[in-house]
Every structure is written in structure tokens, then in C-alpha cells.
Amino acid sequence: MAGIHAALDGTATIQPPHLVAAAAFIRYAVDSARAVFRKADPVLAQLAAFIREAGPQGRTRTEITSDFFQGNAKKPRIDALLERLVADQTIARTQRRPEGRKGGRATDIVIAHEHYELTNNAPDQDKP
């Protein structure tokens, strides 16, 4: 693939930009194949929309369990759906510290990927 990009540029040598373009093309092809051949799960799309609707503050696990599933889904099913959304880079996981007090357990939050950069740079987020 990099050789084709180099040939299209009219050069006999493969340069780093050709490798970058080839890698991007391969990622696009793999993602497209996944999208086409993956079994469609309407609940997955609805869950992604539910998380996206929350905006930059995201959704807690409790909100997903009680508000989206109305308590009618078991933990393994919810975990599998969330893992699939993370793997597809539809959502990102982060944590939020309790407001107004120090210490305490952080709350796990899932945020739609398009909102993640906004919250990932927030001052209350722990950096790895």
C-alpha cells in the first residue's frame, strides 16, 4: 500500500508520509469491514445515543443500569455492551471525583468519544 502511494506521488522510494497514508487506509478498510460484517445490535446503538445525549458530563453506571435499562439488564450484558463501545471508540471511560469534598471513591463515567476531549482535560480528572 505504501508503494502504491509512493508511485502515485511519482517517486521510486517509500517515504514516511507514504507509510502514514497506507496505515490510515488499512485502518479505514478494517473499520469499514467491521461495520459491514458485524451483527447489528439495536440496543448498542440506542445505548451509544443515550450516552451521547448526556454531553460532556457523560453517564454513570447507575444511570445506565437504572435509566436506560430500567434495571432489566444484568451486569455481564451491560459490561459487554460498554466494552464493545469502548473498542469501537464510540465511548471513553473516565472517573469523576466527588464534588465538594476530598477523598472518597471516584465515580466511573462513560462519555461519548466526541465529548471525551473536553472532559479529559478538565482539572478534576486524574492524569495517568
Q: Is the pLDDT of residue 77 over 90?
A: yes
Alpha-carbon dihedral sign for residues 8, 9, 10, 14:
negative
Q: Given this model, what pLDDT does residue 60 score?
A: 94
| Cα angle 102, 98, 62; round to 5 | 155
The predicted model gives 114-124 an average pLDDT of 51
Tell me which of 16-20, 68-72, 105-109, 120-124 is least confident.
Answer: 120-124
Helix ranges (H only) for 1-128 are 2-8, 16-37, 42-53, 61-63, 75-87, 113-120
